[in-house]
Amino acid sequence: MSSHKDYSCFQESARRLEAAMSGISDRVPVYAQIHEFVRKELGVSAKEFYTTPDILVPGILEITEQYGLDVPFADYDVYNIEAEALGQEVVYSEGHVPDVDRTRPLIRDQSDLSRIRTPDFDSDARFPQVLEMNSLFKELTGIEPTLQFCAPFSLAANIRGIEPLLMDIYTDPDFARSLLDRLTEEVIAPWIQYQKEHFPNAKSVCGSDATASLPIVNPHILRDWVVPDVLRLREWCGPEVYVPNWVGEKYLKNPEEMLDLKLQVCPDFLEGQDPDVEALGPALYKEYAEQRDVPLVLGIGASFTALSTPAEVTNRVKHYIEVGGKNGRFALYLCNLGPTTPRENVKAVIDAVTTYGVYHQGSPNPTPSTSAAWAKQP
């Protein structure tokens, strides 16, 4: 028997998110990337937090419940797991999420490609701890965990260095392709399959790929060097695999060009994040999502949430809900609550969602109410 608190209460809010993605829920759901914020709230070291499932998972669940977020995720420093197992040094520094040692890349030249081999997922690095995190999450909530992996391009950038990788693409494309092929075929696909074997009912296998964003890359690199490997993973490992978190469409004259690429690797919903949504406006994303008949997730930016006043946070949440929540099929996402995010700003998000995000079920074309009064009606 587990000595931890029961968090099966989250099953109801998980149903809210599921309903919101398919149509109209009782109100707009809100979820967050929260692990850095949780570590600060718990007051534990980064090393202890990210290597101890018994601290990380209950901590995420408890803080998620305390602040009133709808759906928890057993999130962690996803970008480091495969890299660390291959031999890439990872630095644990206080006040920051762990990161690869960017002064000492694992892959310095073509001869280092031999260092890329399929790990022993039962024992290498923190693979067993990830499995333990997901098992504990399922035990405490009764919800299938979202399985996670570092997408090929971001993993290549972490063990090669982003500047050398970009140079390789233009000056030594055979080397760059060999690196991405080996990571995709020998590391990432087996890791996804291993996780799916342990959680065969998992509905989501989410890849993190922030490095494959503009202006770090351009649409040409996205189309020819990033998308194909994600599509291969979807072909080999199943349609549950997706990559939702590229950003940077605000840099394009035609933002829809990048949104089209996003839907190739995440066809079940469209995710837009600040500062793109702030710059382009939420209406562009809502119109595109409705044209493509997919649900919409709008992400409130990490910097905005950390640096703004509660009133500014409230106004942005209200605006995104009023535009994005029209006719349902909408959720709100807090991109990254970090150690510097003020508690009052997190509370402002939740207050705004519960005030402005409640749907009036009696309307033929329901939109989120502009008053909390809807929630109080019998």
pLDDT band at 216 (very low <50, low <70, confident <90, very high): very high
Q: What percent of the chain has pLDDT over 70?
A: 95
pLDDT band at 255 (very low <50, low <70, confident <90, very high): very high
CB-facing half-sphere around the CA of 30: CA atoms within 13 A: 30
35 within 8 A of 60, measured Cβ to Cβ: yes
How confident is the model at residue 373, as a pLDDT?
34
Cα(278)–Cα(378) distance, integer angstroms: 36
CA neighbor of 69 nearest in space, from 371, 370, 369, 337: 337
Residue 178: pLDDT above 70?
Answer: yes
**What average pLDDT does the chain have?**
94
Cα(102)–Cα(3) distance, integer angstroms: 39
CA neighbor of 222 nearest in space, from 258, 272, 181, 183: 258
- pLDDT tens for 293-338 read 999 999 999 999 999 999 999 999 999 999 999 999 999 999 999 9
In the sheet that 147-150 helps form, which strands lie side by side, from edge to edge?
147-150, 205-208, 241-242
How confident is the model at residue 2, as a pLDDT?
61
102, 184, 226 from 192: Cα distances, Å: 25, 10, 18
Cα(156)–Cα(146) distance, integer angstroms: 23
Instruction: Note the helical H segments in the chain.
Output: 10-22, 35-42, 46-51, 53-67, 81-86, 127-141, 152-160, 162-171, 173-182, 189-198, 219-221, 227-237, 256-265, 276-280, 282-292, 302-307, 310-324, 343-356, 373-376
| Phi and psi at residue 327, to the nearest 5° | 70, 15
- pLDDT tens for 258-270 read 999 999 999 999 9
191 within 8 A of 127, measured Cβ to Cβ: yes
Instruction: Give the 3-state secondary structure of residue 288.
Output: helix
- pLDDT tens for 135-150 read 999 999 999 999 999 9
How confident is the model at residue 189, as a pLDDT?
99
3-state SS of the chain: helix, strand, coil percent to 5? 55, 10, 35
Residue 377: pLDDT above 60?
Answer: no
How confident is the model at residue 96, as a pLDDT?
86
Work out the angle at residue 72's Cα, subtended by the Cα atoms of residues 26 and 191, and round it to the nearest 5 degrees: 130
pLDDT band at 366 (very low <50, low <70, confident <90, very high): low
Residue 372: pLDDT above 50?
Answer: no
Cα(92)–Cα(125) distance, integer angstroms: 14
* Contacts with 66 (C-beta within 8 Å, 6 or more apart), sequence order: none
pLDDT band at 362 (very low <50, low <70, confident <90, very high): very low
How confident is the model at residue 369, as a pLDDT?
59
- pLDDT tens for 16-63 read 999 999 999 999 999 999 999 999 999 999 999 999 999 999 999 999
- pLDDT tens for 81-136 read 999 999 999 999 887 899 999 999 999 999 999 999 999 999 999 999 999 999 99
Residue 154: pLDDT above 60?
Answer: yes
Compute the chain's Rg from CA coordinates: 20
Which domains can be identified in the chain, with CATH numbers?
Answer: 1-72+269-378 (no CATH), 81-134+143-243+251-268 (3.20.20.210)
Cα(98)–Cα(80) distance, integer angstroms: 8
Residue 183: pLDDT above 50?
Answer: yes
